[in-house]
Amino acid sequence: MKLFKLALLVVCGSLLLTVAKAQDAQKKGGDRGAQMQQQMDDWMTKQGLSDANKEKLKAVLQTQREKMMGLRDKTDLSQEQRREEMTKIREAGYKKIQDDKILTEDQLAKFKEFQAQMYQGRGGQGGKKKQQ
């Protein structure tokens, strides 16, 4: 009987630990989005963007994000095709930023570099890590 209680206690403890780890991972995922937004806000402030241009840039990025999220649901695309489509979406966003004069040429170049660093930091394909 004591062995049964001990085994039950171990199982319950393991279950609680698993739930706690899952909740912690979920919190960190939410924090990452907030952290990325803060980095973007800091970058825009550092570049001296007006409030109007900040809002325009955020709108372009939101449209990009929505289109990229839509690609995740397309199961008929290979990983390579999905990557190519994401690149096209990103390039279209850069073109809109340039055409609408949201950023100067210099700011756009810095923005592309900034985005590449952000993709690299989260392991995305947009900023492939350098070979050593």
pLDDT in the model for residue 130: 39
Rounded Cα gap, residues 4 and 7, in angstroms: 5
Record the pTM.
Answer: 0.65
Q: How distant, in Å, are the alpha carbons of 10, 71, 80, 91 from that of 87?
A: 49, 12, 11, 6
Report the b/e string of 105-114 with b at 16+ CB within 10 A: eebeeebbeb
- Calculate the average pLDDT of the chain: 80
pLDDT digits (tens, 9 = 90+) for 97-112: 999 999 999 999 999 9
